[in-house]
Every structure is written in structure tokens, then in C-alpha cells.
Structure 1
């Protein structure tokens, strides 16, 4: 039986989630709320433009899961009649847990009613941290994000924060590495339509550039193929908008000095992240 889902939001993220939902027979889009305008691409699905959270149409349409792309408190969706809420905004309020598909989605439980899907930066680096921690061990790590936009506002109108939140999210989705991650203030790089996350960490043993890249290449062509793309030329994040992977590993920027390792991974736009949100909803409804 398909699950009845709704999308709340009118920006680029909502449009990307709608694109990711297209063609899914296990998730049935039954209503779209676009309080700020048209998110496009939903065919004949009923629409509303409700700004008042108390009047959201979730109960009327018997919605099982709402994809929140507007930044509302998850509890307002629950109060309006949704059974579950998956928050896709940069910061989520009222969430029970944080999930990065491929890293900790098996921790989803039927008792969870509000889940935060972390952020694009977290999805860009979490698979790398998972793979390299399993193979090399990570004792301490520092993250630095490089944004493509020259201004301090994202496409959906969310202000770019002084921190991405990825370090905090990694502590939640990789609890065995609690307190291992810290984060510097992001850098801006105008003119490149992609974003990059650098991670410098201390491994538990010595390694080499060749070993680190080999581990990530094996992951990208193996169990992580739908999530991780392996790039062997610098800044290969400038890839097609049609690519649905959410983590682009940049092998050309790997550096190693004994136990100190620097790796970089990135993402382009919202599409890969949106596909991971839909993947998360699909496994959550089965939990």
C-alpha cells in the first residue's frame, strides 16, 4: 500500500522534492501547500496556499508524511493532522531524531513522529566520515564548508548560517564519534555553482593518499553507489543537475601526512539531498 504524502513549501527545495517523488509508486503525493507561490511540477495534485499553520489541510487529506520545506515547527504539522513530519529545512524544530540516509536510517522507529533530514552539507560529508571511520578510525576532525553563492542568502530565502550545523548533525548520526567534530566558519567562492565540505581529521593509524582514495572509490562503486560519486579531477562537483547522488567525493584534493588526513566532498544544488529525503520517507513508512 502506498503512503500518502504532502509537501509544504514553495522554493527550490520543495520543487526538488516534487521531482524526486515523481514516478514513485510507494509514495502517493496527495496535496501540495505553497504558501509563497508555485513550486511547480505537481500535475493535478490538489494545492493550497495556506500560511496559517492551524489551517494546513493535512487532516482533510489523511496525510501520512509531510515533507516540510518551509521551516515550520514540526509540531504544527502534527497538530494539523499529519501522522509524521520529515523536516527538509536547514534547521528543524520539534524533531525527535536526525537521519542521514545511508548512514543511520536504520535507526528510524515507528515511534518517531518528527524526523530532521539534516542539511545538504551533512549529506555531502557524512558518507565519507562513515566509510573512513570504519576503515581508519577518526579521533578528531575539523570541517570547513565552501559555498558557491557570493551572497548570504540561499535560493529558498534561508540565511546562510555562520556554521552549517554539519558537525552537530554528524554527532547525532554517528554517535560513536560524539564530540569528535568541530566546524570553522564557511568560506564563500563566487562563480562556481557547487558547494564543498573539507574535512581534516586525525586517523587512528597512518595511511596514504592512495589508500584513502581507494576506500572511497570502492564505496562509490559498491554499496554507496546510489549516494556517493567518486571524482578524480578537482572540483568535479560542477556536474549535471540531473545527478541524484548527494555526496561527490573529490579524490584530487586528498592529502595525507602520517595520521593527519584532509578530504573534500561536495554537492550541487538540492536534487541529491531531495532524493535522500524521499529515500528516508520510503524506509520510514516501512519501519
Structure 2
């Protein structure tokens, strides 16, 4: 691509800001230009939270403000504060691709509003309401090459799906996965309060995020089945929010279709990391979660935690930066998708 693809971001929260930062640090930087951000918050706060981040540190660049723009290293990004897709002049801004990071729009009817308002293509930073509500759901490295370029609504799935689907795919193709149970240990999110309060209809989410482990609902099993339909009916999942700012883990228990050993599993994962080092990593060092803060991989397999109970019941643990890894996969999918239509 000689002309950078013109990107916009709708929703400048954790993932929206990580996406901008990830692009700034990425070798793909020159392929894209962020030309617009729509975010209801005021510009002063947007600039401040771009410059300073408690999780990922101080921004490695110059952040300034124009009258109605965020200026990154001298390049102005138009800022709007609209509450609906129709209020933003997407066509006038010359947007080629909008990255939807607000999470407020999930059904096809809701997403269609962006297209009707002049957005040519929409990349979601969430799964959408269902598979039928988007043209494609992509986990980079698994099925991104199935994109044809004719899609207008593409989902980047979820951070947990991006972490576990590559692992389950490898295990199923090599050993057969008869049944699998996934337990996600996920860092706190902004749908939880700091102290107990009337915050959510889910009573567990009314409890303080920083004082307890909090079990919450998860759609991870459905997300896995959407990407790996051959495992339909074989996967169950639960999630527990833990009082850390960032980096999550998935504890995978599975029943294999053939005998295997911990050494077999780890050898398989090491080989996968060597083949796809940009999004899969492997380590057998004695890690803690903080070791993977700001890690761009979709998943890091912790070989030191691989266990067997009998010849076919296995336990695998994986780590992932639920913000930074996912933001980098958004970039990868945007780059691949753009290459199909340019």
C-alpha cells in the first residue's frame, strides 16, 4: 500500500486507546493513518489519558490538543463527541475503516447504522451479538485468510477467544478434544465498581472489583464454537474476575481422544510458537501474570504448568495481555482485510 489506510475509532476507552498506542508502536504504523476519533468524553481528558496510562505507561510520542483534534506527533486527528453513529460525518472525514471499540452496538441492525451513515467497513473489537450479526468473525492466525474482501462487518472476536482458539485448534488436530472446560482468570474491567454499589443487574458485579475474586458470566464457550464448530457441544467455560489491572489467564482442562503426555503437549506448543512467533509464544519459566503486561502475543503457553491426570486428562495454562495482545490483533486483521480491497 502506498497510500495509508484512513482509520477511525469509535469509542476511546481501554481498547480504543490501546489500539492507537499499538499502532504507534507497530511496524504497520506507516500503513495506516488514524484520521478521526468519536468519543463522548471531553478532549482534555482524552488527551490526558492518551499521554498517561496506569497500565501501559507514558505514551512514547508527543500528545497535543487542537481546537477539535487530538494531535499525535504533529498529526491531527479529528475528534467528535457524538452519541449516535449518524451524528459523525464519516464520509467527509474520508474514513476507509472504522474500528468500533465502544461495545455499545452488537446486532446487525445496530451495526448497519454505521454503514448507512457512510462508513464503508466496520471492524468490531468484540464478538457482536451473534455470528449472524456480522459478515465474519476472525481470530488472526486461525481463519483470517477466509476473508474475501467483500465483507463490511467483521468481528475480531474477544481477547479470550483469540487466546484459547489457537491452543484448542492445535490440541484437537493433534490429539482430539473430546471435552474441554475453560476457566478464565480475568483482570478487572470497567463494568465493575471499585466499591460495592448499584452498578449492574448481575448481583456479583455490584461487588468491589479490588477486594474479591468475582465469578461472572462468559460467552467464551459460544465464541470457541463459532470459530471451531467441530467442537460444538464439547466446550464449557466459566470466568472469574481477579483484582489485577491487566493480564489474564485461561486454565484449560480437556479429555483427549488418544493417549498423550505433558511432553507431547509442550512439544506441540513449542513448535507452534516457532511457526507463528508473532501471535503465539511459549515459555516454561516460573512466571507471574505481571511478566506479560504489554505483551503483543495472542497467547503465551506456560509449559511449566502442563499436567496430566491419567493417560488422556490434561491441563494446560495460558497467559494473555487482554488489552495489548487484543489491540495488536485488531491491527493485524485490519491490515490483512485492507490488503484484500486495495
Matched, 1:223 2:314: no
* CA 1:236–1:95: 2 relative to 1, 3 Å: same
Q: Alignment partner of 1:77: what SS? A: helix
Q: Alignment partner of 1:140: what SS? A: strand
Determine if contact 1:125/1:266 at 8 Å carries over to the other structure.
no
In the TM superposition, 1:14-29 aligns within 5 A as 14-22=16-24, 24-29=29-34
With normalisation by structure 2, the TM-score equals: 0.75
Determine if contact 1:238/1:268 at 8 Å carries over to the other structure.
no
Alpha-carbon separation, structure 2, partners of 1:131 and 1:154? 38
Unaligned 5+ segments in structure 2 are 51-62, 64-70, 106-110, 206-214
Alpha-carbon separation, structure 1, partners of 2:8 and 2:191? 29
Alpha-carbon separation, structure 1, partners of 2:337 and 2:235? 27
**Other-structure match for 1:245:** 297
Alpha-carbon separation, structure 2, partners of 1:48 and 1:66? 14
1:192 positional shift? 7.5
Q: Alignment partner of 2:289: what SS? A: coil
* CA 1:29–1:189: 2 relative to 1, 3 Å: closer
Alpha-carbon RMSD across the aligned residues, in angstroms, is 2.6
2:155 to 113, 116, 130: 116
Post-superposition Cα deviations, 1:20-66, rounded to whole Å, max 9, x if no partner, equal 22252222222111223416266122221111221123121221211
Determine if contact 1:241/1:269 at 8 Å carries over to the other structure.
no
With normalisation by structure 1, the TM-score equals: 0.89
| Number of residue equivalences | 284
1:18 positional shift? 0.5
Post-superposition Cα deviations, 1:97-117, rounded to whole Å, max 9, x if no partner, equal 211111111111223211111
In the TM superposition, 1:79-94 aligns within 5 A as 79-89=116-126, 91-92=128-129, 94=133
* CA 1:58–1:129: 2 relative to 1, 3 Å: same
1:76 positional shift? 2.3
1:274 to 307, 327, 335: 327
* CA 1:154–1:260: 2 relative to 1, 3 Å: farther
2:10 to 8, 11, 21: 8
1:165 positional shift? 1.8
**Other-structure match for 2:260:** 207
Alpha-carbon separation, structure 1, partners of 2:15 and 2:338? 21
Matched, 1:45 2:112: no
In the TM superposition, 1:68-147 aligns within 5 A as 68-73=100-105, 74-89=111-126, 91-92=128-129, 94-147=133-186
**Other-structure match for 2:212:** none
Alpha-carbon separation, structure 1, partners of 2:77 and 2:190? 35
Alpha-carbon separation, structure 1, partners of 2:104 and 2:145? 25
* CA 1:266–1:204: 2 relative to 1, 3 Å: same
Alpha-carbon separation, structure 2, partners of 1:279 and 1:154? 32
**Other-structure match for 2:306:** 254
1:147 positional shift? 2.0
**Other-structure match for 2:86:** 54
2:35 to 21, 30, 42: 30
Post-superposition Cα deviations, 1:190-243, rounded to whole Å, max 9, x if no partner, equal 3574211111112121100111111111211x1221112212135443225332
Determine if contact 1:143/1:197 at 8 Å carries over to the other structure.
yes
1:78 positional shift? 1.2
Unaligned 5+ segments in structure 1 are none
Determine if contact 1:100/1:118 at 8 Å carries over to the other structure.
yes
Determine if contact 1:239/1:268 at 8 Å carries over to the other structure.
no
Q: Which has the larger radius of gyration?
A: 2
